[in-house]
Structure 1
Amino acid sequence: MRRRPARTADAAMVRRASLRVGLQTAGAVALTVIALVGVAVLVVLRDQHQSQNELLSATIARADDVDDPPAGVWLVLQNIRGRQATAGLPAGFPQEDDLRAASAGEVRSREVTTERVEYEVRTEPHDGGVVQAILSLRTAHRERDRLVRILLGCGVAGLLLAAVAGAWLGRRAVIPLARSLSLQRRFVADAGHELRTPLTLLSTRAQLIRRELDRDDGRATVRSEVDGLVTDADRLAAILDDLLIAADPRGGSARGPVRFADLVGQEVEAARPLADQRGIRLRLEREPGDPVVDGFDAGLRRAVGALLDNAIRHAAGEVVATETTQGNRIVLTVADDGPGIDPAVLPRLFERFVSGERRHTGTGPRRYGLGLALVAEVVARHGGTVSAHNENDGAVFRVTLPRG
């Protein structure tokens, strides 16, 4: 199956991000429109209901006869002279129950539906008799429906405009990020390409030296060191491949089971020469068992190696790596007895190029703060967490990973 070029993948990423921003903007506008339409309809209904009650109350107050009520209103007047009703009284009226209740002094106001038409009906005592005013709500409902249609039409138009504007703004916002990612990937790819050749030559030369040493059994110590050199070169090549995979937008290699206890043990042994050179005692403590992590071997090696390297370079005399299991999680703790972490740097310790004032007297090249940031990225790729704190005047790093 052919892979798309990185440039095509970047363009697809920009399109997806723009589409997501547009959809999110449209969703926010849709919720706002729905809320506004709902509020507007509630306000209109309240105003209409208030106007209808005021109209019916005023009509009843002026009701001397039933001949000239306002448009859309019918009257039923009942007194000692009998019952009168406005011509054209809708079917189903008058409401006899309301007339009887009003005769007893009760005022009633309610909506009544007859023949699929809604009416507002108000019945109350009046001048020794009873008046029932019936108002058709057909016109009010027509106005309400027209208002809702207008609001929804404006809302849909605004929704479309918001989606287009959101996609356009999202594209403008994402393009610089895509360019930065492309530049970063280009740097990693170029660095990987340039480093691969000397690494290959280093491994080849070490293998040739080992082959020559095989002819002389009296050089076992030298051969052991050369074996370590070959192993280190192979690990460095694997780490380089992992870096290239992490920078490739088209996807990485397949995950697989990693025996984490063995990996930690191997990395501790690989770091021991640096610890011996600096006079640091390096210890590994771990529980019995063989926990497995579903992930990338080279990436996990890179993270564990970076933590050990950081601890050894800042320790005063000892570094302790502890590997345990807690339920379905694997926990690796790397502690040193150095001067600890600058509190001003601690909240941003795992960000790239974050550095604080050096609090130890060691010599050597200035550290640029990439190692811990790479640890955080590797751990995040594996669904885990990494944290740091000071304890007993030293630094403690804690990595938690899900078991495979």
Structure 2
Amino acid sequence: MTTGEQGLARRAAVRLGAQATGLAAVLVVVLTAVAVVVLVEAQRAQVTAQLNGAIARADDVDDPPTGIHLLLRGPAGVVTASPGVPDGVADFAALAEAAAGGDPPAVERNVGEVQYEIATQRRADGTTVQAILDLTANHAERNRLLATMLVTGLLGLLGAGAAGTWLGYRALAPLSAALALQHRFVADAGHELRTPLTLLGTRAQILRRRLRRSSDPDEEALGEADGVVADAARLTAILEDLLLAADPRSERATEPVDLAAVAHEVGRAAGGAVRVEADARAVVRGSPVALTRALTALVDNAVRHARSAVTVAVHTDGGRAVVDVTDDGDGVDPAAAPRLFERFSTGARPGDSGRRRYGIGLALVAEIAAAHHGRVELVPTPTGATFRLTLPLG
């Protein structure tokens, strides 16, 4: 591959790597969100179990479980507390509510920078117990797990990006080699064809000059010579356009093109069987050679299948130029219609016979239309077939 082709392959591989990283990022975010929800719910269940267990087993306040403070209120209303209960953390209102037969919910309370979970219950023996759990250890464990998940996710994203780029480059290598081979073939074929075309044009011009200098010029022969010169120039332009189209790094030069004028030119070249209806200009921006090729292919397809007449109608519709190429033939086989614009799909019509066709013309029209931000389609008609080329006005 050339340096430019290697650069294209590398950029494509980087794009694949970025896409893999983006997909991995979405998966990591979703999995992390699920893991966080599960972790928080598990910790909440664990906290509830610790508080309920401490309340059920509490017989005094002197030896509470690690990380838990206890308050006991006896039937006489006397409240005792574990040593070291932080000021302001006890919920005396909940104690009074539970002692009166209520069922106060568990609450969280912040004292300073420490968060506590407080649960209060009245036991069957008439004692009301309040358990206060310091959540510092729970939060530390949760933060440690979240940090681990974050680091692991970032490493996974970096690995996914690197692996996606590497795999993309490996996957694209055969395709890049095939494209490079195709490009070299087209370039070589173009170079080999350019020389005989140049010679053909030169000889035709010499012949035309000699005919003009003759004392009794043959007007018919002179007209044919003019046609050969024009055809040689047209073939050279088509060859240059094909070479540009085959190189993904090149860009066609664009200019205003009147599709009505192109339609008249193509109609004249096709002969008297083609009627062109184009009363107004339909100017688009694009490659004159490519657009001429597209209309020529559509007209050639219509002439080949028409019984007696082909109509090319050019008009504008809003901000778009529309070209309808219609023939009065037998129409298109509905089974073949979906594949008409695929390469090597001939889209045979009823009664087709004769030399083999390769199904490239309509595919080239579709590619040219797409390159000009337009489209080509088969329009349903009662008889015959109508192909519509639609392009944005320039």
- When normalised by structure 1's length, the TM-score is 0.90
Root mean square deviation, CA, Å: 2.0
Pairs within 5 Å for 1:340-351: 340-351=331-342
> Quick one: which amino acid aligns to residue 138 of structure 1?
T
Structure 1 residue ranges without an equivalent (≥5): 1-5
> Contact between 1:332 and 1:400, CA under 8 Å: does it hold in 2?
yes
- How far 1:231 sits from its partner (Å)? 2.1
Name the structure 2 match of 1:360: 351
Q: Distance in 1 between matches of 2:153 and 2:358?
A: 52
Q: Which moved more, 1:297-306 or 1:251-260?
A: 251-260
Name the structure 1 match of 2:247: 248
Name the structure 1 match of 2:38: 43
Q: SS where residue 108 of structure 1 aligns?
A: coil
- How far 1:315 sits from its partner (Å)? 1.4
> Quick one: which amino acid aligns to residue 259 of structure 1?
D
> Contact between 2:282 and 2:315, CA under 8 Å: does it hold in 1?
no
Runs ≥4 in structure 1, deviation > 6 angstroms?
A: none
Which of 372, 376, 379 lines up with 2:362 in the alignment? 372
> Contact between 1:341 and 1:390, CA under 8 Å: does it hold in 2?
no
Q: Distance in 2 between matches of 1:196 and 1:382?
A: 26
- How far 1:30 sits from its partner (Å)? 1.6
Name the structure 2 match of 1:3: none
Name the structure 1 match of 2:98: 102
> Contact between 1:346 and 1:389, CA under 8 Å: does it hold in 2?
no
Which of 70, 74, 79 lines up with 1:83 in the alignment? 79
- How far 1:221 sits from its partner (Å)? 4.3
Per-residue CA distance 1:169-189 (angstroms, 9 max, x = gap): 111211121122112212221
Name the structure 2 match of 1:271: 270
Name the structure 2 match of 1:310: 301
- How far 1:165 sits from its partner (Å)? 1.7
- How far 1:114 sits from its partner (Å)? 1.4
> Contact between 1:209 and 1:226, CA under 8 Å: does it hold in 2?
yes
Which of 261, 278, 282 lines up with 1:286 in the alignment? 278
Seen in structure 2, the aligned counterparts of structure 1 residues 192 and 226 have a Cα distance that, compared at 3 Å, is same
Q: SS where residue 106 of structure 2 aligns?
A: strand
- How far 1:14 sits from its partner (Å)? 0.9
Pairs within 5 Å for 1:43-192: 43-79=38-74, 80-104=76-100, 105-126=102-123, 127-192=125-190
- How far 1:160 sits from its partner (Å)? 2.1
> Contact between 2:89 and 2:109, CA under 8 Å: does it hold in 1?
no
Which of 368, 374, 396 lines up with 2:386 in the alignment? 396
> Contact between 2:275 and 2:311, CA under 8 Å: does it hold in 1?
yes
> Quick one: which amino acid aligns to residue 227 of structure 2?
G
1:326 aligns with 2:317: yes
Q: Distance in 1 between matches of 2:154 and 2:216?
A: 84
Q: Distance in 2 between matches of 1:358 and 1:325?
A: 30
> Contact between 2:344 and 2:359, CA under 8 Å: does it hold in 1?
yes
- How far 1:63 sits from its partner (Å)? 2.5
> Contact between 1:337 and 1:392, CA under 8 Å: does it hold in 2?
no
Seen in structure 2, the aligned counterparts of structure 1 residues 16 and 319 have a Cα distance that, compared at 3 Å, is same
Q: Distance in 2 between matches of 1:390 and 1:233?
A: 37
> Quick one: which amino acid aligns to residue 268 of structure 2?
E
- How far 1:287 sits from its partner (Å)? 3.8
> Contact between 2:339 and 2:347, CA under 8 Å: does it hold in 1?
no
Identity, in percent, stands at: 48
Q: Distance in 1 between matches of 2:334 and 2:128?
A: 85
Per-residue CA distance 1:256-289 (angstroms, 9 max, x = gap): 22122212211211222xxx5xxxx21111242x
Seen in structure 2, the aligned counterparts of structure 1 residues 311 and 81 have a Cα distance that, compared at 3 Å, is closer
- How far 1:357 sits from its partner (Å)? 4.9
Seen in structure 2, the aligned counterparts of structure 1 residues 35 and 98 have a Cα distance that, compared at 3 Å, is same
Which of 289, 297, 314 lines up with 1:298 in the alignment? 289
- How far 1:131 sits from its partner (Å)? 2.3
> Contact between 1:78 and 1:84, CA under 8 Å: does it hold in 2?
yes
> Quick one: which amino acid aligns to residue 173 of structure 2?
I
> Contact between 1:22 and 1:162, CA under 8 Å: does it hold in 2?
yes
- How far 1:120 sits from its partner (Å)? 0.8
Seen in structure 2, the aligned counterparts of structure 1 residues 361 and 131 have a Cα distance that, compared at 3 Å, is closer
Pairs within 5 Å for 1:14-53: 14-53=9-48
Q: SS where residue 391 of structure 1 aligns?
A: coil
> Quick one: which amino acid aligns to residue 239 of structure 2?
L
Q: How many residues align?
A: 390
Q: Distance in 2 between matches of 1:395 and 1:183?
A: 38
- How far 1:217 sits from its partner (Å)? 7.6
Structure 2 residue ranges without an equivalent (≥5): none
Seen in structure 2, the aligned counterparts of structure 1 residues 204 and 44 have a Cα distance that, compared at 3 Å, is same
Name the structure 1 match of 2:258: 259
Q: SS where residue 202 of structure 1 aligns?
A: helix
Name the structure 2 match of 1:9: 4
